[in-house]
Amino acid sequence: MTVSILLFLPIVAALVVLLFKGEVAKFIAFAFSIAELAVAGYFLSKFVPDGTIQFGVNSMWMPKIGIWFNAGIDGISMIMVILSTLLVPLIILTTFKHQYKSLFYALILFMQAGMLVVFTALDGFLFYVGWEAALIPIYFICAMWGGENRIRVNIKFFIYTFAGSLCMLLGIIYLYMQTPAKLYDLHAFYDLTLDARQQSWIFWAFFLAFAIKMPIFPFHTWQPDTYTEAPSAGTMMLSGIMLKMGIYGVIRWLIPIAPLGVQQWGTLAMILSVIGIVYASVIAFKQKDGKRLVAYSSIAHVGLIAAGLFTFTRPDGSFVWASQGLQGAMIQMLNHGINVVGLFFVWDIISRRLNTREISEMGGIAKVAPKFAIAFLIVTLGTVALPLTNGFIGEFLLLNSVFQYNIWVAAVAGLTMIFGAVYMLRMYKGVMQGETNALTATFTDISGSEVFVLVIICALIIVIGVYPQPILHLSEASVNQLIHLVQGKLMPVKPM
């Protein structure tokens, strides 16, 4: 079995879902998403974490211009496949209390296919196709089912991301022109010998696309508005999975192709990431809308992940802590996806019951909805990286790596944990504790699909927090192989 079934099943599912209407469509979509998860589970059970590409497919697509349908899974890809196939069924389940047309579920499944292409592509052209294919469905999801300002916000989101994509496309075409055999093959790109000036150009061509997608400061301005105006399921797809495309792109494409460019500009990228941590945290303190607060919290946490990606640019040339930084980024992508989907689902439940997201209008919900209060607390603790929750190990590895890079940078980056604990726990207190009021007194506890989704999310937060080693083991060999590749490219020029 090859990865192609993983890529084409969601497309087939999307087309099938369009044939149904009403309540049936959501159940068909959910069934297909479970089937996709089962396929991913099969790959995981057969996967050998030795750094090699497995379950690959490499078929002629447009061979005359060097384009092949080339995709496969290694340890880095496997974590992203797990993330994508695990969260989509949960996201679909979160919509069961809503009334959406079949087109909504078809777009989610088509978006999943595009993201999986990004996470498994070994051909630059295929990578770009998946990158753009994932953008189209979320544009329509936000435009058709978003809030009252959805059109203005969506246009800004599309312009930002499409502009970044065009920069990346130019970089891919340039790399294609440099390959002796005129190929878009990823490993052909790895084998290129580019000078520092060329790699500097490639850095910016790719970095702009990835920085916008994550996003990191100052390319983040589309994110809070888009997350707030998008329907909850769309926000979960964006924050839980899609933003990881940018982080993955840095790891898979930017760092190994242009290490000299990253070495030259990595310090600037590190500074921008740390600025984003502090900036987003300060803005989060002032938010009255719970969903918008979570959006800024996401920027802060992603800023720390981004900072960890660039720790191999240490002045002394040490690569030891780069491995921890990349490993931290890998597991934190998974953890952030789980936690942020949980948080946005919590706010979806609250806004559906109370028709408001204003924190100041709430209070005392824990007294009338104890099951919801426990689930909300576990998700909050995972987000603030309490030890023995999933957020802790990723942030520990990232901060340790940044600390070895520069103690002062680490001191500022560590504010994400302090600030995050303050504004997240203050949010929880404002919503759940105190006395009930006329609005919250009638709040009903979670039931049905709501319980199912939150139990799974809470279980993942605790299990990964207590025993993260299996996740770290999946990507360890591939991360070390990437570090070795980068080290081999940088060491010859180190004496200069």
Q: Report how far residue 484's alpha carbon sits from residue 45's, in angstroms, rounded to the nearest whole number.
A: 27
φ, ψ for residue 54, nearest 5 deg: -125, 160
pTM for this structure? 0.91
What angle do helix axes 390-405 and 370-383 make, rounded to 10 degrees?
20
Decide: helix, strand or coil at residue 275. helix
Domain borders along the chain are 1-257, 287-496
Q: Report how far residue 459's alpha carbon sits from residue 343's, in angstroms, rounded to the nearest whole number.
A: 15
> How close are the terminal C-alpha atoms of the chain, in Å?
48
Convert the pLDDT of each residue in 280-330 to its tens digit.
888 988 888 899 999 988 888 888 898 888 887 665 555 656 778 889 999
Contacting residues for 258 by C-beta, under 8 A, at least 6 apart: 194, 199, 200, 202, 203, 206
Contacting residues for 137 by C-beta, under 8 A, at least 6 apart: 107, 108, 110, 111, 114
Record the tokens describing residue 279, joined without a space. 């900036």
Contacting residues for 380 by C-beta, under 8 A, at least 6 apart: 343, 424, 425, 427, 428
Q: How does DSSP classify residue 67?
A: E
Q: How does DSSP classify residue 121?
A: B
Burial of 490 (0-12, 13-18, 19+ CB in 10 A): middle
Q: Which of 371, 372, 348, 369 is nearest to 290 (CA)?
A: 348
Q: How far is CA 260 from the centre of its chain?
A: 26
Convert the pLDDT of each residue in 336-382 to its tens digit.
999 999 999 999 999 999 989 999 889 899 999 999 999 999 999 99
Q: What is the DSSP string of 87-100?
A: HHHHHHHHTTTS--
Q: What is the DSSP string of 6-40?
A: HHHHHHHHHHHHTT--THHHHHHHHHHHHHHHHHH
Question: No. of H helices and E strands in the chain?
Answer: 22, 2
Q: How many CB atoms lie within 10 A of CB 489?
A: 20
Record the tokens describing residue 309, joined without a space. 């990606």
Contacting residues for 264 by C-beta, under 8 A, at least 6 apart: 196, 199, 200, 203
Q: Which of 107, 106, 112, 104 is nearest to 87 (CA)?
A: 112
Q: What is the pLDDT along the chain (496 residues), one digit of tens a residue?
A: 789 999 999 999 999 999 988 789 999 999 999 999 999 999 999 999 988 999 989 988 888 888 889 999 999 999 999 999 999 999 999 998 888 889 999 999 999 999 999 999 999 999 999 999 998 898 889 888 877 787 888 888 888 888 889 999 999 999 999 998 888 999 999 988 888 899 999 999 999 999 998 888 888 888 888 888 889 999 999 999 999 999 999 999 999 999 889 888 888 988 898 888 888 888 988 888 899 999 988 888 888 898 888 887 665 555 656 778 889 999 999 999 999 999 999 999 999 999 899 998 898 999 999 999 999 999 999 999 899 999 899 888 988 888 888 888 888 888 777 888 889 999 999 999 988 888 888 899 998 899 999 999 999 999 999 999 999 999 999 998 998 888 887 765 444 3
Half-sphere exposure of 273 (CA within 13 A, CB side): 29
Record the tokens describing residue 188, joined without a space. 């052909």
Q: If you count them, how many residues does the chain have?
A: 496
pLDDT the model gives residue 314? 60
Convert the pLDDT of each residue in 100-131 to its tens digit.
889 999 999 999 999 999 999 999 999 999 99
